[in-house]
Amino acid sequence: MAYATGKKSYAISDRSGMAFPYQEMVREWTGALVHISEFEPKHPQIRRKTVKADAIALRNARPQDFNLNSGGSRFTTTDLSLPGEFAFDSSGMQPDDGAEQNRKRQLLARLGTTTVEIS
């Protein structure tokens, strides 16, 4: 389809509502048809940045087998957890009461007798 050149035509600016020569009109990034004197470029902070995610997976990963013999030495696993229940155990999103669990760990000791004299 052929269009006219618009050399004698006028267009209405979407920003100001004023009539300007058709050939001096430009389209903004918002889609508005405005005169070149009213044109505002897209602000750099609006541009979409491409953000690469952090690499969290290893290619060709293999779990370590602690029961392998290598050169006469033997790897063993060690349980480093402390005995008893701890405050960082949780049921759902609510943490457990740490004070109750700490009361189970209190040391009760008797070291002798104390005599108080009031004179």
Residue keyed to tokens 């541009």: 47
Residues in contact with 32: Cβ distance below 8 Å, sequence separation at least 6, in sequence order: 14, 15
The reported pTM is: 0.40
Higher pLDDT, 37 or 110: 37
pLDDT in tens, 11-67: 999 999 999 999 999 999 999 999 999 999 988 888 777 777 777 777 887 776 555
Q: What is the pLDDT, as a whole number, of residue 119? A: 75
SS3 content of the chain, % helix, strand, coil (to 5): 10, 15, 75
Place 71 in a pLDDT band, splitting at 50, 70 and 90: low
Question: Which has the closest alpha carbon to 39: 19, 16, 22?
Answer: 16
Q: What is the pLDDT, as a whole number, of residue 69? A: 53
Residues in contact with 84: Cβ distance below 8 Å, sequence separation at least 6, in sequence order: 101, 104, 105
